[in-house]
Amino acid sequence: MTAAPALEAVDLTRRYQLEGVAVEALRGVSLSIGQGEFAAIIGPSGSGKSTLMHLLGCLDRPTSGQLRVNGVEMSHLTDTQLAELRNKTIGFVFQSFHLLARTTALENVALPLVYRGVGKAERRHRARAALESVGLGHRMEHRPSQMSGGEQQRVAIARALVGRPKVLLADEPTGNLDTRNGAEVMGMLDRLNSERGVAVVLVTHEPEVAEHARRQIHVRDGLIELDTAAEGRGA
């Protein structure tokens, strides 16, 4: 039996009201991200790429269209059910890290497991393993202010992975990093995809970052203008 796509969007639209004016951030986007795929969504500022990522990550609801995560239709779920699905299925990595300033790396990484009701000993065990997997076994008791930007982003990746997600969404993950740290983070995402089979969807405006992905989806004015997967099928 063929596995359902990790993410599947059908004719998604998203319309906002800004000071009484309707703004169409997405105007009918359809795409499918396979299990274990590595795709980059690329476009300039205002293209709709971050809106698309928020919809794919179930952080927002579309104005119209369908979204399925591992075959589950999102429109029928309550907000509580959506939150549970996000926690169990999707990991997030953001440009600004979003770490809790007053807690240690270990506590930051363990946090998603608190919402799952995982016991303290198991949370700490899994958080340690996640930090070790990103090369930060020696920084577990450090707080974000005691770490470099590259280390903070690696903590964020460990936090995204601790719940063993099917999909990892990374929104401009190298945006606040220098070239060396950015390259290390991208190498880490590539290894997670190839070695663990986690589907990775990377959102970026930088072509050189998008090149790390095996598929590039170019978004402009709320529409997909190029999808290299479609090019491959037509070859």
Each residue of 18-63: pLDDT tens digit? 888 888 999 999 999 999 999 999 999 899 999 999 999 999 999 9
Amino acid at position 74, single letter = M
> What integer pLDDT is reported at residue 43 of this predicted model?
94
Domain 36-59+82-234: top CATH class: alpha beta
- 206 contact partners, CB below 8 Å, separation of at least 6: 42, 174
Q: What is the mean pLDDT of the chain?
A: 92
Question: Residue 162: is its pLDDT beyond 70?
Answer: yes
**How far is Cα 82 from Cα 94, in angstroms, rounded to an integer?**
19
> What integer pLDDT is reported at residue 115 of this predicted model?
87
Percent of the chain beyond pLDDT 70? 97
pTM recorded for the entire structure: 0.90
> What integer pLDDT is reported at residue 2 of this predicted model?
72
Question: Residue 235: is its pLDDT beyond 50?
Answer: no
For every residue of 107-158, DSSP letters joined together read HHHHHHHHTTT--HHHHHHHHHHHHHHTT-GGGTT--GGGS-HHHHHHHHHH
- 126 contact partners, CB below 8 Å, separation of at least 6: 110, 113, 118, 162
Torsion of the alpha carbons at 163, 166, 171 and 174, rounded to the nearest 10:
80
Of 105, 95, 106, 12, the closest CA to residue 61 belongs to 12
Per-domain residue ranges for the chain?
36-59+82-234
198 falls in which pLDDT band (50, 70, 90)? very high
Contact 38, 190 (CB under 8 A): yes
> What integer pLDDT is reported at residue 30 of this predicted model?
97
Give the number of other CB atoms < 10 A from CB of residue 164. 12
Torsion of the alpha carbons at 28, 230, 175 and 155, rounded to the nearest 10:
100
Question: Residue 66: is its pLDDT beyond 90?
Answer: yes
Chain segment 79-130, per-residue pLDDT in tens: 999 999 998 899 999 888 999 999 999 999 999 999 889 999 999 999 999 9
230 falls in which pLDDT band (50, 70, 90)? low
